[in-house]
Structure 1
Amino acid sequence: MRELAVVVAKEPGTQPDTGDPGLRRTIRLDMRGQEEDSMRTVLCWTVLLAGALAVCGGHALAAKVVLSPIAAVSISTHPTDGDKVTSASLPVGFDTDNTLYRGLMQFDLSGLPAGATITKATLRLYQVGAKGVNLPVYVYRTNKSWDAATVTWAGHAASFSPTAITSGGGGAANGTWVTYNVLILAKSWYSTPGRNFGLMLRGSSEGGDWSFHRYASKDQGDNPVHPRLVIEYTP
């Protein structure tokens, strides 16, 4: 018998409110991963443990996985950067020395089970620094393959779809998480992995107001603040 921490939906077949502590429960599962009969036909549950999966009334439950980027780098117009920045921070935007920075990031979704339906995908970046007017950062689909070791501004700065997927981070304080809804991207990466070239982070001001952000990168020593893609799905 196993016990799992869960959040229960208020109505059968609906999504639970994970922010409501009053709905948190512990359920017992038998060796087949099935819940005890007393609640099986009444409510279904969302398992809070990352990657865990249970069954309620014969129906598979939503699962969550947290992914770290397989590659992350910033490309730059600064003459001494060698076109790119690979360090503990990932700069994005228009710096006060008139340097442009764009971030590139890629995630591998091949670990998700076949036939899964992605219901939510959130990119989480930890802001470690900012300058200027702190304008939003936009997320774009990257449409060309790249290698973090060799990518350059000249070769890749324009390799993104013209329409932004989402934006965020405007006015964010240092030492806080910035979140982006990237469900559209995650679904396309999952369905057509051969076209998964990752995403681009681009400042909303590139030549006007100075607006510059630094996010913790995958090379940041403090692992809890690494970039992450949080995906929720049903099998």
Structure 2
Amino acid sequence: MNKKAFTLLEIIIVLGILGIFLGAGTFFSAGFISREYLRTDTENLIFVLREARSRAQSGYENDSWSIKFLLSEGKYVLFKGNDYETREIAFDREYFLNKTLSFKQIVFDGGDDIMTFFKNDGYSKENGEIILQNVKGASESVFVNYFGIISLDQSNPAYTGEIPIIPDDTLEKQTYNVFVPVLQDTYIDKGDEDVSFGSENNIWVQSRFVLWHKRGLLRFDLTAIPNDAQIVSAKLKLYVVDKKGSSRSYGIYKIIQNPDRDWIENEATWYRYKIGQLWTGGGGDYVETLSNTFNVSAFDGTPFSVQIDLTSDIGDLIKTPLDNYGWLIKDMEEAATFQYYVQFASKEHSQTGYRPSLNIVYEY
């Protein structure tokens, strides 16, 4: 039987064809990845622009909010106010483009590289276009007009000014999933009524007779959530790091907004919410209607988390973020004969993963 082997020429041809296919696959794969980076970073830019506008509209920190574009560094900075040179750096948030992207061009009416949204109305300083470009030459433009309207499409009726309404209602809504770190936390103790515990690693909540109550206080910064967003869910996550007693129920209440109760964690005690300012009564001022209740099971020495649904509260608070003074947590049966307590990890806890966080899912 004759067996015919491949000739050298045939092998070279086959290898050449394979090389062409592999090269084409690599080319198209690289192109796809590059386009995805462009799409993702464009969405991120829109999100940050909206955040700046939302902060300005809500009057956060009683100031306008701006974004500085540093083209040569491939980054942009969200900052408080409208003057980058004299800004308060503590409020800065920096964002970097993917290394495969760059700012092709920034075109603002005033020829500047700063987009400012004015306090209260959220209008912008000028019309502008920000163009992002990837290594393949593809580009995306984001437009901002004097109304503060942000769009990918200049023909959008809201953008052109034909419908002078908040633009985001006319755009296709997107879903965002964010984790908000705790801004302040502490606990107040009836047994140590003049002591502040804002620097403690744990937040105590305790019941025992009428003289040994402890209540927790928490507050989160909600100003980054647009005040016209649709809240899908909001869950507070706390880690139990110690507990005495069997399973118990706890209640969480909104701290009252009127009159102001802008408590300070390192000054709040059982009778005052900050130095020189007293609670109406001892133990904090809170809305009598429960925001929610939750159970904490017995503790076996291993930290575990509990989640509390605060969707309704967050939906209300984002509309007036400057009136947000957080929540108070207390035992549902404080007048217990025996001592029962739970300790939640605070924002000072050494294990960062145990610190309080608020997971908010919203559409905007």
Report the TM-score when normalising by structure 1.
0.71
Tell me how far apart the structure 2 counterparts of residues 165 and 115 of structure 1 sit (CA, whole Å).
Answer: 21
Q: 1:165 aligned to 281, 284, 291, which one?
A: 291
Whether the aligned pair in 2 keeps the contact of 1:2 and 1:30 (CA below 8 Å) is: yes
Q: Greater shift after overlay, 100-109 or 203-212? A: 203-212
Alpha-carbon spacing, 1:97–1:165, altered in 2? closer, same or farther (3 Å):
closer
Rg larger for: 2
**Deviation per CA, 1:84-138, whole angstroms, max 9, x where unpaired?**
3231111012159962110111001111235321110000000001112331111
Deviation for aligned residue 1:212: 0.9
Amino acid aligned to 1:60? K
Aligned to 2:195: 83
Partner SS state of residue 360, structure 2: strand
Aligned to 1:115: 228
Amino acid aligned to 1:219? E
Alignment of 1:131-210 (within 5 A): 131-143=244-256, 144-155=261-272, 156=279, 157-171=283-297, 173=299, 174-209=302-337, 210=339
Identity %, equivalent residues: 22
Give 5+ residue unaligned stretches, structure 2: 1-31, 41-170, 273-278
Aligned to 2:361: 232
Aligned to 1:62: 175
Amino acid aligned to 1:31? L
**Deviation per CA, 1:136-163, whole angstroms, max 9, x where unpaired?**
1110010122111211201341400111
Whether the aligned pair in 2 keeps the contact of 1:92 and 1:213 (CA below 8 Å) is: yes
Tell me how far apart the structure 2 counterparts of residues 206 and 224 of structure 1 sit (CA, whole Å).
Answer: 29
Alpha-carbon spacing, 1:30–1:224, altered in 2? closer, same or farther (3 Å):
closer
Report the TM-score when normalising by structure 2.
0.47
Give 5+ residue unaligned stretches, structure 1: 4-27, 34-57
Whether the aligned pair in 2 keeps the contact of 1:69 and 1:105 (CA below 8 Å) is: yes
Tell me how far apart the structure 2 counterparts of residues 110 and 152 of structure 1 sit (CA, whole Å).
Answer: 26
Amino acid aligned to 2:358? L
Tell me how far apart the structure 2 counterparts of residues 106 and 95 of structure 1 sit (CA, whole Å).
Answer: 25
> Runs of 4 or more off by more than 4 Å in structure 1?
95-98
Partner SS state of residue 215, structure 2: strand
Larger strand fraction of residues: 1
Larger helix fraction of residues: 2
